[in-house]
């Protein structure tokens, strides 16, 4: 459980006053972070920032994702209320995916994280090189 004030027995300080407790609340938060923090979810969320996108357009825009992985990622994001799926009764059926209002709240932190990774990729690459030479 994350609280912004106070101290509870069994809590660990993360960032300033933010505290995380063990147990069911911790598991729930970890499951949410696993969903929104995996690489495919990050790509899907950023690709949907400009509005609804069809399934095959998403697949073309996200390099390296398989059709099965895209389907699983979209289903998970839909289950968590981050993405909506709209089916249009055409032949063949047209399916659009879009961010929900909840999903839109993820855009700023996700884009910040991606921006950080892009800005520091050379430093991280150099650190990995140094690390691999030590072993």
Nearest Cα to Cα of residue 96 among 110, 83, 77: 83
pLDDT (mean) for 78-103: 95
Indicate if the pLDDT at residue 77 is higher than 90: yes
The helix/strand/coil state of 4 is: coil
CATH code: domain 38-134 is 1.10.10.10
Q: Would you state the pLDDT for residue 9?
A: 41
For the cut 90, the answer to whether the pLDDT of residue 28 exceeds it is no
Tell me 106's DSSP state: T
> Could you report the per-residue pLDDT of 106-132, keeping only the tens digit for each?
999 998 988 999 999 999 999 999 999
CA 111 to centroid of chain Cα atoms: 10
Listed in order, the ranges of the chain carrying CATH 1.10.10.10 are: 38-134
Q: How far apart are CA 113 and CA 109, in angstroms?
A: 6
**Alpha helix ranges (H) inside 8-49:** 24-37, 39-47
pLDDT for 2 equals: 43
pLDDT over 50 (residue 8): no
Identify whether the C-beta of residue 100 lies closer than 8 Å to the C-beta of residue 81. Answer: yes
Q: What is the pTM of this model?
A: 0.73
pLDDT exceeds 80 at position 15: no
pLDDT at position 29 is 80
> Please, what is the average pLDDT of the chain?
85
């Amino acid at each position: 459980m994350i609280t912004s004030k106070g101290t509870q027995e069994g809590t660990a300080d993360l960032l300033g006053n933010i505290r995380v407790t063990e147990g069911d609340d911790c598991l729930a938060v970890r499951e949410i972070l696993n969903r929104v923090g995996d690489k495919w979810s990050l790509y899907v969320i950023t690709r949907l920032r400009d509005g609804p996108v069809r399934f095959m357009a998403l697949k073309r825009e996200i390099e390296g994702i398989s059709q099965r992985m895209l389907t699983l990622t979209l289903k998970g994001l839909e289950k968590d209320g981050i993405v909506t799926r709209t089916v249009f009764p055409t032949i063949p059926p047209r399916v659009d995916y879009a961010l929900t209002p909840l999903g839109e709240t993820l855009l700023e932190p996700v884009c910040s994280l991606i921006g950080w990774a892009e800005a520091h990729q050379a430093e991280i690459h150099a650190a990995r090189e140094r690390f691999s030479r030590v072993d």
